[in-house]
Structures are given as structure tokens and as C-alpha cells.
């Protein structure tokens, strides 16, 4: 694994005009995955979903983020909280799937928790050491950005700040927080989490992998690198001039902004496509070196799109995701080969985002490596 970490530093230090990809083991080694889990993943901000998935008090959904089962719930005060989905008695998960709950009642011995995680009742607890105040569900660190809910398991990551101003500026004209949710779906993909980030974020494959679904709108040849910075990257998938309008979106958008999808990643695990009328985002939940849970959401701007158009867009994205998944799952097998060497990357407009991701991973790795060493 040290070899892979050394390799990552070497590649990140290459001159900008000769970028290279990482070897297959970087994406298939379970040891590497465990290291990432305890460092870059545990430390990062992870998108869990959209605020309007849970519009009413008591609305909740559950997710598994690394080793942590979570309940994402809206409280009586209207605040969104991310609670540990682990009973304080003996560890049973309290909720599954999604729904609305007045209280969370454990299915094992019926301890009952409020929507804010406070323990409200525990029957027959005649134990001198028992104090319900010490039995709250753990509340994780969260932040809301552009209508997305993010969680940090470590509890010590700084919220997004000035450093992501270029991304904020790029997205602001689209009014991302005004988008309303129309679709949520989840499935497991047999791929490495980094492979999906890279795949979603490069325009090099668009015309090859998606000849019927995307090529007509976002051909590879029109892909252009866009803003990047600490913890994010982006590119513009521009539409040809002659395609029909895909919806007006926010009034402040320029014609150029209406004629493209802005694809961005918030590292480590969120990838998103922001267009005038359509916002599609994937939350990646890494499970093992070669397995992820994919949760994707689709949101639309106001009433821009008719119900039929929304249905058609959902179908289109299902097809696009299927095309990507098929490629990634086949590649995951080949990446185990001893001959899966690092290859050269395409120029910035096509694969510069992969290079940004690599650079960020290398910086994070070096920082966590130094911390681990200092702790020894
Ligand atoms: S484990 Fe939840 S009440 Fe016992
Ligand atoms: Fe794709």
C-alpha cells in the first residue's frame, strides 16, 4: 500500500503537460481502501441527499456512511439533524428506509427517542447508573449547501468557506437552492468509489459510452475544463448550437449558461450535473474497494419542465447511469490485472478533472500520513 501512496505523490508531482493515471491496485486494494476510509473519507464532507427529501418535521431517511448508520431527520424546530442510527441501549439500528416518525422506537427493547435524538423513555430501567440524559443519540456534524445536506463523521472538518467561492459563483446564477426534488433512486455498483468520481467528472468518454443518450447534447468535443480549487473540480459539457432549448431555468442565466451542463465534484464523494432546468447529483457511499452504494437525485427548476418531460429525463438518466455502470463494473475486474499500469491522461478539457482529484487526494494523503506518523 505504501507503494501506492508513494506512486500517488509521484504522479501528483508530474508536470502539468504529462499527467498520468494511477495503477489498477489503487482502485482494487482493500488495504488501500481501509486506509482511505480511516483518513480522507472519514475526514471529508459527504453529501447525503437533498433538504427537500425531508420537507416536514419527522420526515427522515437513512443512509450508511462508511461504518456509520445514520438517520437524517427534520426536527420539530425545522432543523435537519444527522443522528447515529444506533440505539444507546445495546446497539440496534432504530430506523430503516425512509418515512415520517413522531418518535424512533427501538425494535429490540422499545427505548424511545425524540426527533432530536433525546431518549424519552426506557421501560423498567431500574439501574443506578442509568441517566436518560447520557443516552442521547449522537448528533453528527452537518452543513447545508445549495440545498444539499452534508455530513462529516470526524467532527473536525471546517465547513465549506471562501475556498469554494469560484464554485459558488459558477453555480449561483442557476439558483440551485430553488430546485425541487422529483426523483431519488439507490443501487449498488461493483466499482471503486474513485472510479465513479473520475468517470462522472471527465468528458472524454461522453461520445463513446453515450452515443445515443448524451452525444447529441454534450459531445466530448465541446467539453471544457472549468473552475477548480481545494476540494472541488468542474467542467462544462457544452451543447451544440442547433439543439432545441432544454428549459429556461433561472432568469439571471446567460445564453451560454443555458447552453451547457456544469458538472462538478465536491470531493471526496459527490458528483453533480447542474443545468438550467435540471440538477442531477450522485452521492457515493463507499462500501469496500470494489463496491459502492449509489444514491442519485434529480431536481428541476420551478415548473420549467412538464411531467412528461420529467419522466423522459428520469428515463434518460437511468439509461446514462446504466451505460456508465456497465463500463465501470467491467473495468473493475480488469483493474485487478498485474498489467493494469498507469496510463497517460487526456488534456485538461477532457480529463483535467481527474488530475485535480489526484492532486487533492495526494495532498490529503500526505497530510494524514504525517498525522499518523506524528501519532506513532
Ligand atoms: S437495543 Fe435498543 S432498546 Fe435495547
Ligand atoms: Fe458517463
Strand order of the sheet with strand 119-121?
A: 104-105, 112-113, 119-121
Question: Which sign does the torsion angle of CA 366, 13, 34, 328 carry?
Answer: positive
Ligand 1 pocket test, pick from 69, 109, 112, 122 with the greatest ligand atom count within 8 Å of Cβ, gives 109
pLDDT of residue 156: 85
* The CATH number of domain 46-152, selected from 2.102.10.10, 1.10.4160.10, 2.130.10.10, 3.30.1490.100: 2.102.10.10
**Measured in angstroms, how far is the CA atom of residue 128 from the centroid of ligand 2?**
59
Beta bridge partners, 62, equal: 71
pLDDT of residue 247: 84
pLDDT of residue 103: 98
DSSP secondary structure, 18-33, as one string: S-BPPPTHHHH-HHHH
What residue spans in the chain does CATH classification 2.102.10.10 cover? 46-152
Number of residues that make up the chain: 376
Please identify, by atom number, the ligand 1 atom nearest to the C-alpha of residue 88: 2
pLDDT of residue 246: 78
Question: Per residue of the chain (376 residues), what is the pLDDT tens digit?
Answer: 669 999 999 999 999 999 999 999 999 999 999 999 999 999 999 999 999 999 999 999 999 999 999 999 999 999 999 999 999 999 999 999 999 999 999 999 999 999 999 999 999 999 999 999 999 999 999 999 999 999 999 988 999 999 999 999 999 999 998 999 999 999 999 999 999 999 999 999 999 999 999 999 999 999 999 999 999 999 999 999 998 777 899 999 999 999 999 999 999 999 999 999 999 999 999 999 999 999 999 999 999 899 999 999 999 999 999 999 999 999 999 999 999 998 999 999 999 999 999 999 999 999 999 998 998 8
Query: pTM for this structure?
Result: 0.97
* Ligand showing the shortest atom-to-Cα distance for residue 108: 1
pLDDT of residue 281: 98
Coil, strand, or helix at residue 355?
helix
Q: Measured from the CB, is residue 90 less than 6 Å from ligand 1?
A: yes
* Ligand showing the shortest atom-to-Cα distance for residue 94: 1
Residues with CB under 5 A from ligand 2 (ion): 324
Coil, strand, or helix at residue 65?
strand
Minimal-distance CA residue to ligand 1 atom 3: 109
pLDDT of residue 269: 98
Strand order of the sheet with strand 80-84?
A: 80-84, 68-74, 59-65, 98-100
Q: Measured from the CB, is residue 111 less than 6 Å from ligand 1?
A: yes
Please identify, by atom number, the ligand 1 atom nearest to the C-alpha of residue 90: 1
| Distance (Å, whole) CA 200 – CA 181 | 21
Q: Measured from the CB, is residue 107 less than 6 Å from ligand 1?
A: no
**Measured in angstroms, how far is the CA atom of residue 137 from the centroid of ligand 1?**
12
Q: Measured from the CB, is residue 106 less than 6 Å from ligand 1?
A: yes
What residue spans in the chain does CATH classification 3.90.380.10 cover? 2-42+163-368
Topology, domain 2-42+163-368: Naphthalene 1,2-dioxygenase Alpha Subunit; Chain A, domain 1 (3.90.380)
**Measured in angstroms, how far is the CA atom of residue 113 from the centroid of ligand 1?**
11
Amino acid at each position: 500500500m505504501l507503494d501506492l501512496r508513494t506512486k500517488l505523490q509521484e504522479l501528483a508531482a508530474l508536470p502539468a503537460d504529462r499527467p498520468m493515471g494511477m495503477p489498477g491496485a489503487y482502485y482494487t486494494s482493500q488495504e488501500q481502501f481501509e486506509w482511505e476510509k480511516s483518513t480522507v473519507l472519514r475526514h471529508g464532507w459527504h453529501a447525503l441527499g437533498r433538504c427537500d427529501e425531508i420537507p416536514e418535521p419527522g420526515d427522515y431517511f437513512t443512509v450508511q456512511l462508511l461504518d456509520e448508520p445514520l438517520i437524517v431527520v427534520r426536527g420539530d424546530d425545522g432543523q435537519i439533524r444527522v443522528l447515529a442510527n444506533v440505539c444507546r441501549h445495546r446497539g440496534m439500528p432504530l430506523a430503516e428506509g425512509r418515512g415520517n416518525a413522531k418518535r424512533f422506537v427501538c425494535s429490540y427493547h422499545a427505548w424511545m427517542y425524540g426527533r432530536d435524538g433525546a431518549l424519552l423513555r426506557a421501560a423498567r430501567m431500574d439501574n443506578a447508573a442509568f441517566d436518560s440524559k447520557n443516552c442521547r443519540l449522537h448528533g453528527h456534524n452537518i452543513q447545508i449547501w445549495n440545498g444539499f445536506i452534508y455530513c462529516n463523521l470526524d467532527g473536525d472538518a471546517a465547513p465549506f468557506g471562501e475556498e469554494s467561492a469560484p464554485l459558488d459563483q459558477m453555480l449561483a446564477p442557476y439558483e440551485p437552492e430553488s430546485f425541487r426534488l422529483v426523483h431519488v433512486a439507490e443501487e449498488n455498483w461493483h466499482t471503486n468509489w474513485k472510479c465513479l468520481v473520475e468517470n462522472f467528472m471527465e468528458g472524454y468518454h461522453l461520445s463513446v459510452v453515450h452515443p445515443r443518450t448524451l452525444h447529441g447534447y454534450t459531445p466530448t468535443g465541446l467539453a471544457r475544463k472549468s473552475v477548480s480549487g481545494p476540494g472541488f473540480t468542474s467542467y462544462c459539457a457544452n451543447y451544440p448550437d442547433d439543439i432545441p432549448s432544454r428549459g429556461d431555468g433561472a432568469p439571471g442565466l446567460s445564453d451560454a449558461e443555458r447552453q451547457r451542463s456544469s458538472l462538478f465534484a465536491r470531493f471526496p464523494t459527490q458528483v453533480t450535473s447542474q443545468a438550467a432546468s435540471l440538477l442531477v447529483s450522485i452521492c457515493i457511499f463507499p462500501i469496500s474497494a470494489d463496491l459502492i452504494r449509489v444514491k442519485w437525485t434529480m431536481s428541476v427548476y420551478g415548473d420549467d419542465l412538464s411531467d412528461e418531460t420529467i419522466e423522459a429525463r428520469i428515463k434518460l438518466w437511468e439509461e446514462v447511469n446504466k451505460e456508465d455502470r456497465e463500463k465501470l463494473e467491467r473495468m473493475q475486474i480488469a483493474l485487478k490485472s498485474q498489467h493494469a499500469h498507469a496510463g497517460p491522461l487526456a488534456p485538461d478539457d477532457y480529463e483535467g478533472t481527474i488530475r485535480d482529484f489526484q492532486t487533492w487526494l495526494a495532498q490529503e494523503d500526505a497530510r494524514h500520513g504525517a498525522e499518523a506518523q506524528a501519532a506513532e
